[in-house]
Copies of this chain bind each other. A is one copy, B any other.
Amino acid sequence: MQMTSENSILTTKFAWPLGYYSDSVHVGLKPNQDDMGWLYSKVPAAAAGVYTTNQFQAAPTKLTKQTINSHHQIQAVVMNSGNANSCNGPSGWADAMTMQKIAAKKLAIDPNLVAIASTGVIGEPLPMAKIQAGINHLALSQSKGITKAILTTDTHPKTITLKCVINNRPVTLTGFCKGSGMIHPNMATMLGFVVTDAAIEGSQLQKLLRTTVDETFNQITVDGDTSTNDMVMVMANGLAGNESLNETNEDYPTFVTAFKQVLTKLAQEIAGDGEGASKLVEVNVTGAYNHTEGQQVAKAVVGSNLVKAMIFGADANWGRVMQAIGQTTAHVDVNGVRVAINGTQLVKNSVATEFDEAKVAASLKNSQVTIEVDLNAGSAAGTAWGCDLTYKYVQINASYRS
């Protein structure tokens, strides 16, 4: 039997797993680019989702949650950008239902097997004639246009394809997502999709998604805001032919690792392509009292506007990192904290240490910045990702609708 260590997980060029079809189209929700599309599996797939915690959960989000939760199985997802169908009251809910129904009709499947996802401006009615025209036009192809059609202020599509071997069967996992504002805690702050041909029960997939999201998407922050619409969804159609996966399967750890790699990569891409971002920032916390506190501190540092602006300015003003740590309620040895930026130690025992400031400043100009924090309060760790705060963030958000 083939070894399935982590080494056997390979990143390949973009491809849909077995049995998935997709297409995209321009219907006029955005000016000049494709703004609608779908994803279809030739057989019903096990499905799982996590959803925004915002109290004004948008109609499509609520409908998809309800659909997936009813039986953890779907066969298609219809998506649009340019309009969030959020805060539109009862008619927004009716529009979401209609969107689900007309897609189901076109695909000749049960509406309860269709998820929908919308992103864009809040509070404007979904132009249903355009949605209807779009769905009429969509075909079953191997196009990857959908990865672009769901974007809003993102600068580029975010995709990943991994291949691994599970029970001697080749398995593919493909993920794609969109960011890039309103990215913050409590999950569901973007649209993320993972499709695989692996076989796994819906409830098992839901459990795995929940755990993995806490370590990935829930640890990124762009601006501290949580959208009304966002979600991460997974489909697993089983066409790879492996035994249905659960903890007792000897190759389950390989699948878990690959799955986490997909979500980590997508989360990092979202952070690095945050609105106006020029740099991806990773914060690694060690010496935490427990994992929760490690995660909390990592996210507090990466989410501090002052730290973000400092990184944009390539200024090794480590006091701001201390300030961000100090505002959390995590256990901290206030006289024993260590801080390093891009591998250079700046703070030891909570006070400045000798360091080559020019070297650190130069390294802060890289497109990736890593901040390490040792709280000296335990042996747990945490990681979070974010981006710098730039003029462009302000520009984008001062005129989002114009």
Give the B-binding residues of A (Cβ under 8 A). Answer: 53-57, 84, 86-89, 92, 121-124, 181-182, 184, 186, 223-228, 304-306, 309-310, 312-313, 315, 317-320, 322-328, 332, 334-335, 347, 349-352, 389-391, 393-402
Contact = CB atoms under 8 A, between A and B. Distances in A.
Contacts of A325: 55-56
A347 to B, nearest CB: 8
Contacts of A186: 327
Contact of A55 (B223, B310, B332): B332
Most buried by B among A122, A124, A323, A401: A323
Nearest to A84: B319
22 contacts: A53-B327, A55-B326, A55-B328, A55-B334, A56-B334, A57-B326, A84-B319, A86-B322, A87-B347, A87-B350, A89-B349, A121-B317, A123-B347, A123-B351, A181-B306, A186-B327, A226-B323, A309-B396, A310-B398, A312-B394, A312-B398, A313-B400
Copies in the complex: 2
- Interface pairs A-B: 8 shortest CB-CB: A122-B319, A313-B398, A309-B397, A56-B326, A54-B326, A89-B351, A55-B326, A223-B305
Contact of A54 (B323, B394, B396): B323
Nearest to A125: B352
Nearest to A327: B226
A67 B336 CA distance: 26
Nearest to A124: B352
Contacts of A123: 318-319, 322, 347, 351-352
Given A55-B327, A123-B352, A325-B56, A319 B86 contact: yes
